[in-house]
Amino acid sequence: WDETTEARAARYQAIAEDIAAVAYAPDAPVLYGGARDRAHTAALLVAVAVLESGLAAANSAVTCASVKN
């Protein structure tokens, strides 16, 4: 994948915004206790995403609507 630095930064920003939206959603399950419970949940989501995909650009092109059962 050829990706400019700006495009990569924008993609990473979008991923971060998506993770924050999920972790801080009022109805999202909280996986940890304490003052930073949702921040720790977000960190776990980032860790799993990096482990599973390395945040590869090819994975950002896939949407739920584009996946066929």
pLDDT at residue 59 tops 90:
no
Give yes or no for residue 30 having a pLDDT over 70. yes
Q: Is the pLDDT of residue 25 over 60?
A: yes
Taking the C-alpha atoms of residue 55 and residue 58, their distance in angstroms, rounded to an integer, is: 9
pLDDT, position 51 = 86
Farthest CA pair distance, the chain: 42
Residue of 52, 48, 1, 61 lying closest to 22 (CA atoms): 48
